[in-house]
Every structure is written in C-alpha cells, then in structure tokens.
Amino acid sequence: MTAPSTSQQLLARTARERLLAVRPDLDLPDDPVALAGVLAGGRREPGGEPDSVVAVVRRVDIAGWIRGTCVFAHGLAPDRAAAWRRSFTHTVFLAGNPENLGERVRFDHVAEDASAAWHRPAKPRDSIGLRRLLKAFGGEAELPVRPPEVVVVQAGAPSRARPAERDLYLATAGVSCARTLVHLNHLVAEAVLDGLIAAGDRLTVRRVPHLTGSRTPFAALRVDVDPAHPDRLRAFAGLTEEITDARNHCP
Amino acid sequence: MTVLSVPHASWTRRPARGGRRVLLAPVTVTPTKPLTPSHLKGLLWTDVLFRATRVVAETGYRYSNTAYHSTEQTLGFWEFLDDAGGDTDYAAMTEEQIGELYVRYWARRQRPSAAALRPYRDAVEHGWVHPASARIQQLWSAHFRRLGLHDPGLSEHQPPGYGLAEVFDHLAVRGLCLDHRAAGGPVYLDLTRAGLPLRQIVTADGQPNYLACALRDLLPLAVEHDEIVLVHDRELDLDYRLLAHVLANAGPIVHRLPIGRVPIEDRVRSARSGDWRGHTVAALIDEVAGAYRPEVFRLGLRLYFIATLGPGQRQSYRLDLLHKSLHRAERLLDAAPAPAPGPLAERLGQHRGSHAHVNPYRLTTGLLARHRHLPSADLLAEVFL
C-alpha cells in the first residue's frame, strides 16, 4: 500500500517498482532526478520491437475510454496479456473512426458509441496497414475539469462477491488530452491485468489539476516525467485503494 | 450566356434539353509568383477543355482565386509583406519583383502563427485581396488576353458557397469527417472506408489547407452538376483522389485530369526557391510572341503544350520544339480552311468518349494527324485561337 503522498521519493519508488515488477533485470537508479532522466530517454526492449496495442481514437470520452480499456484488457488471451505487460502496456494512439475501419480491421474491442477501438498487442509490422491509413492522435488541449463521474466496469461476469469502489484521479493542469489517454491507458490496463479492477467495480473519476489532496491511499499511480520540469517526476493518474467508508474520500 | 444559380462562375450556352451540366474545376495558381511554363500548360489544357466542352454541353469553369486565398501559403506571404515591407507600392511591380519577395518569405522558414493570419483570413471572406496579389492577378489577366485564354474571373471576388462549418457538417453526416477540435487536434477528411489515408484539412490552430478550401468551393457546386472534371498537377494526385471521392458522394460523376509539370533542363522547379528566374511566361511571351501572328502564337502554344508535351512530364521545355509547333500552326492556318463537314458539336462529340467533356489531348493531337483533313475554321476559332 502506498501512502497518499506524492513526494519525489515516493514517486520514484512507485515508478521503479512498476518497471522492476515486469523487468527485474533493469538497472534503474533510486534517485528521482536520475530516474526522471531514464524515463525521459525512453526504454528500449532488448529483445527487439515491443508488442504494442493500437488504440484508435475518434472522440475523447474519458468514461467511455475507461470502460473500453477494462473490457479490452480483460478479454485478452493470457499469452497476449503477458506479452503486453512485458512491453509495459505500450500503446500506439491513432486518430480514426472505428466505424469506417470495420471492414478492413478486426478490432478486439470497439467502444459502445464507437468513440474508440482497440487492436490486440502485436509487433508493429502487424498493424502497418492501420498506421498508414491513420495519423497519430494529437489532441493538445488540456482536459477540462468536470464534476466526478462514476464508471461501472463491465468486463465479463463479476469475479468478486462484493464489487470494489475506488476513486480514479486524473491530473489535468498542463496535461494534454493525448497525454491523458496515455496515462489513463497504462493505469487502467495494468490495474485490470493485475486484478485491481474487476467486473462490477465502481470507479469515481475525479479530474483535478494535480494529484494532491486524496485522503485515500493509492493502490496504483501513473508516474512519469513532468514535462514542465524535466528533472522532476509527477503523478498523472492514481487509483485509490478500495473505499470502504463513504466519509473517507473527498467529495 | 446562361447564368445558373452559381455566382461568378463562367457559364456557357445551354444545349438542347437533356444535356449534361459539366463543371470544370482546375487547381488554381496562387497569385504570389510569376507564371511558369508548368502553369501555362495547365491553363492551356483547361482552356481547350472548356472551349470545346461548352460547344457540346452546358459548361461551367470554376476558377476562384478568392476560395484559395485562405491557404497558409498565401496569407503567410501577405502577412510577411506587411510585416517586413511595410507600406510598399505594388501597383507598378513586375511578377518577378513580387516573386523575389515570395522567395524571401519562404527563406524565412518560420511558420506564421494562426493569430497573425486571422485578420487576413477574415479580410479575404469580405473580398479583400492584398495589393501584391491584386497586382499579380492584373498582370495575369493581361497574359490571358495575349495567350487567348478565357478569363474565368481572375480578379473577381468569387466567394466559396460554403463556410468551413458547412463543410464539416456536410462531411459529418456522411461519416467523412474526423473532428478533433474539441481535444485541441486537427480536422481530418476521413475516407478510410474507401482505403484512402486520413488527410488533415484544418490544423489544430484552425488554419485550413487548400483541400479544405477546395471543399468549401466545390461541394456546393457538386450537387448542381452531372459531371465534374478536376484538372490538377500530378503531385496532388492523392488529394485529388480524395476530393473526387467526396464530390462524387454528393452526386455527380467526377473525372480527374492529372497533368504533369514542365521540367526545365530535366528538373521540375520550385517557385518557392525562385527557380522561375529566366523561365517565366512573361519572358516566353516577350521572346516568342513578337515573331508570329497572334493566331499563330495561340495555336502554336496549344500544339506544343498539349499535343507535343502530352499529359506526362517526361519532356523538358524546349524552345526549338516550341518554334517547330509555331511553324506547324502557321502552315495549318495558312492552308485553305477545310469546309465544316457537319455541325461542330457533332464533330467535337467524337472526342468525348463515354463522358460529357471533350478530351483536350485527343482533340489537339487530332489536328496533327496526317491522315485527317485540315482543321475547319469553326473548330479553330471556337477552341484554339
């Protein structure tokens, strides 16, 4: 369990743990500044090209995106899920309309309103046709702050006796829509693959300028380099521990 | 002349009932630089296409400079002129002098901001043209007269029938628009269903490109025509395939007529780097026109740029071959004109194939075929002189 602090040391520890859980062989510094440098430089797969998911974005709909990511990640065959996990849930985001691509691409999941679609983890050459047809998604506007929104996860039959209730915090200040999807994708997909999120769970999405003020500890944090301060780490999204007491979280 | 509901397009006589309405829409040349042989080739092809097709069908010739002033290359140039040059009198400048300023603009390599272009874009919507481009349009009108080209309204205010919002609406209801403005992204033309790649038409900061301008101009005209002929550079092939798809989706049959440029000494030149120096249409007129009668000059140019160079771009510009075509034109015109073997519309109809427009290449090469009769006077007067 992670204390609800977002200090640099804590962020560095969280980021290290995430990477080492998948690749214990990686040589990662403890120091936050040094780790920020490593993250900024990107990570290379020694075994060649990573297995990447291709996500096609027609419209930015945060609740729909979370629901879709949960269904997609939950539905992956174990070997594909493992391969994707090994490549740190690497995902390519392309601008496109899934409804126009239906006859050419067999997506693994399409959002109910066709606002997005997901194509299974594969080597880049397997999605070359799709990449040639579409363009990189580039929504540069900040995500607007909105009232909290509840998302009920519908990924298969409920696997727990009592569905969990969690808050999902999203940082908005200085974060583009495109980067928000990147952060959210890692956080939610990995939480599903790790069993933190399951069918029936209720996630309350809270858009806040910065991830400060949560009184519930985080079960998972998405940490990356702060583009405004390249020598610093920042938490961009966080999934809290289960909320058992309704008074224990921010309104 | 019959004027249909489209303002400012050049319209021709209405043929017998049941005739097809044809719209010719060539890519326009941005009035920011001197005309070159490549431009002249496109203009001559379109002129023969227009003047021959109007004999056999109700034909519109849409060439709106207004519609394309909103592109970044034109607005950016104007903003650069006002920012760098200040209060300059362009009214006495030559094409080359303004072209040199255009070269300086491109050498700056700094993309103008959307905010800097906005007042210019707004002004274009209200009919304003920067005096530098107005001067170029004026000079081109004079070239058109000398070359015997139909002037489709180079200097006229010909606003496009649609605004950008109407284009987006038209595309959206047909599933052809991917609009990421709400997320701070661009707007794309989406023909991925047809296997064509996504194409940005408006940047994230709201600047339309020439394809967006073409859609504003041609979409409202598409529904009023049975056939549209798009004349364009081969380099724009993919964009014009997209445009043809969207226009055809609105109803008419759409044909594309891609035309290769004219290389100079085996190289296709760029106006942005000033490669037109010494090879402008103005220089060609100065060098050649005076040595021939006006009708010989007009016919000879058409024989060279249409029949000799053809639709491709393998042959470089050659002055000796142009003179050869001019001599050929002289012989054709000096020979006794052939009597008209029937109505001109019927004879031109043979060059139409399965479509309503007359193929300018087939028609012009036909003048040179040895086994054919000499061209009749009515054909020459109506189409080539």
Residue A174 token pair: 């200085």
What CATH number corresponds to the domain at position B266?
3.40.50.620
- Using the structure block, give the residue that is written with the tokens 């798809």: B245
pLDDT for A26: 83
pLDDT for B377: 85
Q: Is B351 domain-assigned?
A: no
Please state at what angle helix B319-334 crosses helix B281-288, rounded to 10 degrees: 50
Mean pLDDT of A236-250: 75
The rounded distance, in Å, linking the Cα atoms of A167 and A213 is 12
From the list B184, B188, B197, which residue is nearest A132 (CB)?
B197
Among the ranges given (A33-37, A43-47, B41-45), the one the predictor scored with the smallest mean pLDDT:
A43-47
Residues of chain A contacting B205 with CB distance shorter than 8 Å: none
Number of domains in chain B: 1
pLDDT for B102: 94
From the list A134, A135, A139, which residue is nearest B183 (CB)?
A139
CB contact under 8 A, A134 and B200: no
Strand A109-110 relative to strand A218-226, pairing? unpaired
- Buried/exposed A157-180: b ≥16 CB within 10 Å, e otherwise: eeeeeeebbbbbbbbbeebbbbbb
Q: Does the pLDDT value for residue A1 go beyond 70?
A: no
Q: Is B310 domain-assigned?
A: no
Q: Is B50 domain-assigned?
A: yes
Q: Is B328 domain-assigned?
A: no
A231 and B CB contact within 8 Å: no
Mean pLDDT of A202-217: 87
Residues of chain B contacting A138 with CB distance shorter than 8 Å: 180, 185-186, 204
By the 8 A CB rule, do B313 and B260 touch?
yes
Residue B108 token pair: 């700056």
The low-confidence residues of chain B, meaning pLDDT below 70, are 1-18, 336, 370-373
Q: Is B330 domain-assigned?
A: no
By the 8 A CB rule, do A185 and A91 touch?
yes
Mean pLDDT of A26-31: 84
Residues of chain B contacting A96 with CB distance shorter than 8 Å: 178, 190, 192, 198
Chain B contact probe: residue of A99, A100, A146, A181 with most B CBs at under 10 A: A100
**Min CA distance, A73 vs chain B (Å)?**
25
The rounded distance, in Å, linking the Cα atoms of B49 and B359 is 6
For B232, the domain range is: 21-291
Give the pLDDT band (50/70/90) at residue A212. confident
**Closest to B382 in 3D by CA, of B337, B317, B330, B326:** B337
- Using the structure block, give the residue that is written with the tokens 């249909």: B4
Chain A contact probe: residue of B178, B241, B242 with most A CBs at under 10 A: B178
By the 8 A CB rule, do A172 and A144 touch?
yes
pLDDT for B372: 65
CB contact under 8 A, A139 and B190: no
**Taking all residues of chain B, what is their mean pLDDT, rounded to a whole number?**
90
- Buried/exposed A196-228: b ≥16 CB within 10 Å, e otherwise: bbbbbbebbbbbbeebeebebebbbbbbbbbee
CB contact under 8 A, B175 and A100: yes
pLDDT for B371: 62
Helices (H), chain A: 8-22, 32-41, 62-75, 78-86, 98-101, 128-133, 177-193
Residue B252 token pair: 């008419």
Q: Is B218 domain-assigned?
A: yes
Chain A contact probe: residue of B174, B190, B242, B245 with most A CBs at under 10 A: B190
Q: Is B352 domain-assigned?
A: no
The rounded distance, in Å, linking the Cα atoms of A53 and A85 is 11
Q: Is B137 domain-assigned?
A: yes
pLDDT for B195: 94
pLDDT for B5: 34
pLDDT for A230: 87
pLDDT (tens digit per residue) in B139-167:
999 999 999 999 999 999 999 999 999 99
CB contact under 8 A, A134 and B186: no
pLDDT for A45: 52
Residue A93 token pair: 């985001």
